[in-house]
Structures are given as structure tokens and as C-alpha cells.
Amino acid sequence: MADLLRTLTERLAEGRDLDVAADLDVELDGVPLHVEAYTDLVVVTLPSLSLGRRLVGHHGDRSADVAALLDAADLTAEVRVGPRPVARLGADVTPGPLERRLGLGSIRLVPRGLLLAALLD
């Protein structure tokens, strides 16, 4: 993952455009994810909040790097648990007071989505 982030960052620094088109079912650390993108919005769907927390536990230190990369590529990612949005990161995202206090960079949490996902987890 670190190599991928570094390569993409280097290519963006060289002025290369990044186009994203995806409809993928992937697995990261044993967690199934669905990734879909046809515009400048990349949607990552997780099956449950607990599995999302597990991923953040393993890769949370890279979330600011991913958000910065998305911002540099003029892309926005929406993370969903099932159909509920729980976070947005990257371009066109303005962090709120909570995110700024937590030092999350270009990440915006969706408290209502997080609460509903937690209740249904």
C-alpha cells in the first residue's frame, strides 16, 4: 500500500492526470470491499462497521496520506457501511471541528451514518 501511494504521488507531482473507473470486489486484510468509480467520486463500501474499524486499526496511520493523494488527484472518496455513508475524504471535503481536532486532514466524518452503522453492526 505504501508503494502504491508513493507511486501515485510521484506521478501526480509530474503533472500526470489520474482517471479512475472501477467496479471491483477486493479483499484487504481479509475484509471484503466493493470499490466503484465512474466520475471524480470513488465509493468504497464495507460490509460492517466492525470490519471498517479493523482496517482503520491496521491502516489508519495512512488515512491522511490517502486523503492528501485524493485531494492532489482532484478525487473524492466516500466510505460507506452498507448503503450508509460514514466518511468522505479527499478533494471537495472540508473537515469539521471534530476532524480538525483529531488531525484527520481532508476527512469528514458522517456522524449519523456512523451511528446507524454502529447500531446495525
What span, in angstroms and rounded, lies between the C-alpha atoms of 103 and 85? 20
- Identify the band that residue 99 occupies on the pLDDT scale cut at 50, 70 and 90: confident
Cα 99 to Cα 13, 46, 59, 89: the distances in Å are 26, 21, 17, 11
The chain-wide mean pLDDT, for the chain, equals 85
The model's pLDDT over 9-38, given as tens digits with 9 standing for 90+, comes to 777 777 766 677 889 999 988 889 999 998
Q: What pLDDT score does 64 carry?
A: 74
The model's pLDDT over 51-93, given as tens digits with 9 standing for 90+, comes to 888 887 777 667 777 888 888 888 899 999 999 999 999 888 9
User: Contact, 78 vs 85, CB < 8 A?
Assistant: yes
Which candidate, 93, 87, 100, 89, places its Cα nearest to that of 67?
A: 89
Q: What pLDDT score does 1 carry?
A: 57
What span, in angstroms and rounded, lies between the C-alpha atoms of 100 and 18? 27
